[in-house]
Structure 1
């Protein structure tokens, strides 16, 4: 709020300085002639004060300022002799109005100024401007509206780009939160369930069993709420991360956590490892993570084989399990869809299907140099 107030004060000071500068210029062009100082009638001083003073409020009341400048100019030029460059106040007011997004209002007021000038030029016996002067007048007023409209459009596009980048960054962070928490809470739920099952088999229904049952239920509810709140973000393409993020270097750690949950994980590498771009490295890691989570929670798998293949143009991520196939995962399609969206965002592909010998297989190919 303090920032907004300070910005408003800065804009008001800038408008006041502009009004003072334009006022000085208009006064000098009115008073100073080729033969020295020229006397200016009271009406001229009042109109100059009104038109130039109004510019101090151009940011807050652009329509009113443009109207004041138009009326002052339409009275000033026919009635005041000598005259000066008061038209500049109307040009600035039209630009300000159009740059504030009020292009239609600026065009209407500019059109009224042109129509009034055309009537004075061609509808009366006098011809104060001439054809060249009329052409310049139309050009100046039209240019003021056009440049103002262009500046407004450019500013809107820049602001939209900044908002879009901020939104993408927030979505990326939320997506990472969803992936990390979803995976770890899933492992907590599975481990609590396995321990509870062991205690029940041994006939132990004491406090430890109650605590494990509570952990299992709470983790299940937390996972449900997390996916309900953030799961939709898995469909959003992500930009390359701006901070250090997980990658394939942490694959052994990920495999070890899955082993602790009772899943046998074999990790192998084909080809000579290469340095991957952060976005590719992160996507490969997340695809393995999601595949392991699905195998743990939905497939009843006992063994998973993870193979990372470094080819000439791309890295291949292959995760195969011996679980129950695609059926149990159908209700949680956001996992496969999220993995596929990660791969496609980088110009790669992802295939997920049952294996002929049983189980399920996820294969992703991520190019080394796809979209950043």
Structure 2
């Protein structure tokens, strides 16, 4: 039932406002009649009814023009006191409502200035009125106290509303920031995927083409064999690129998309690197375990990016991949020996994001990452990924992840260029 009344009230605001004013007028008239009945000298009835009607009618503008409505109600209430009525809360009803509306819809300074003015008016009406000259409390203190109490209650409601509005605005800003953060994270994820797909396959295709061109005169059979494998490399790039970009299409059927790559594609990755002239050996230590799709993709992408860096920048043509399984972690290590160091290229503004992307992938699943020179020469990329199923996207709090400051990450990227050149 209350829901039906609320629905009707929301659809008929003018009717509800008129009903409120009529009810207030009825209560005010009741207060006037009660006061007139208990006074020794009964004041005239018609001035009391007329002033009550005018005061209630002025409340129609209490929201749009609160100060004007308060002024009219104050003058009418003072008129009731001058006529001889005792200023009780029932008689002062329109004034109290007007003071409350003023406190709700005006600033704090205006609220209390108007409240003090209305209280002073009630004091004057009590001092110079005809009713109860012998009772200072009933004639002066009581009306002023009711006015100030109404102002205080209205101020409290205004503060509550302002606080609720501020909380709603803060919550809206937080939702907007969270949405913006999610968009940025998604853009970074897509950028990493595109970088890994495009950089790896184009690097292999470039290496195969360069090797074929180099061998075309001296070993044409090997050159033709490498050229024959080149379409497979570009086709794999197109497939992965289509799968990655296809996730951005809302009307793409997921059945048409290739599954995300993982360690099961590691032999194909090794063959592709071999076609580009990089001999990769893979060693597995411990009992292999089934990885979650996220960890599987992360491990594959880190190995893929590390081998891509070796293909592009290292002087040596060999690389070693080691997968070490423990009950709680999977450790990936990609290393290469340097047979003949090439001079480190100059560090320019176009440095790549290969090491940074690998670090982001590792830390995103709660793992650790390290890349740098090996003591006996060459370069090594190592990361540890958790297998306990409790990784929640926060970096693991171990010594390796804590000890890497931004400056050391900077040095890692700089050192990598002595063996691998700029990371892709």
Q: Pick the aligned partner of 1:192 from 205, 209, 213.
A: 209
State yes or no: 1:142 paired with 2:133: no
State yes or no: 1:28 paired with 2:11: no
TM-score, normalised with respect to structure 1: 0.64
Stretch deviating more after TM superposition (22-31 or 149-158): 22-31
CA deviation vs aligned residue, 1:131-183 (integer Å, no higher than 9, x gap)? 53333122112212222112111121122112211221122112211121111
Separation in 1, partners of 2:274, 2:377:
21
Name structure 1 gaps, 5 residues minimum. Answer: 1-16, 53-67, 95-107, 220-242
Separation in 1, partners of 2:18, 2:112:
24
Q: How does 1:321-332 map to 2 (within 5 A)?
A: 321-323=336-338, 328=344, 331=347, 332=351
Separation in 2, partners of 1:364, 1:329:
26
2:266 — aligned with what? 251
2:295 — aligned with what? 280
TM-score, normalised with respect to structure 2: 0.57
Contact 2:273/2:279 (<8 A) preserved: yes
Q: Pick the aligned partner of 1:350 from 357, 369, 372.
A: 369
Query: Displacement of 1:293 after TM fit?
Result: 0.6
2:385 — aligned with what? 366
Contact 1:320/1:362 (<8 A) preserved: yes
In the comparison of the two structures, how many residue pairs are matched? 290
Question: Secondary structure, in 3 states, of the residue corresponding to 2:216?
Answer: helix
Q: Pick the aligned partner of 1:115 from 99, 113, 116.
A: 113
1:336 — aligned with what? 355
Shift of the 28–328 alpha-carbon distance from structure 1 to 2, 3 Å rule, reads same
Which runs of structure 1 show a deviation greater than 6 angstroms over 4 or more consecutive aligned residues?
17-20, 86-92
1:232 — aligned with what? none
Shift of the 18–355 alpha-carbon distance from structure 1 to 2, 3 Å rule, reads farther
Query: Displacement of 1:319 after TM fit?
Result: 0.9
Contact 1:343/1:366 (<8 A) preserved: yes
Provide the aligned C-alpha RMSD in A: 3.9
Separation in 2, partners of 1:91, 1:279:
58
Separation in 1, partners of 2:391, 2:342:
29
CA deviation vs aligned residue, 1:60-87 (integer Å, no higher than 9, x gap)? xxxxxxxx35445544643567739577
Query: Displacement of 1:358 after TM fit?
Result: 3.9
Name structure 2 gaps, 5 residues minimum. Answer: 1-7, 31-48, 78-92, 126-142, 235-257, 394-424
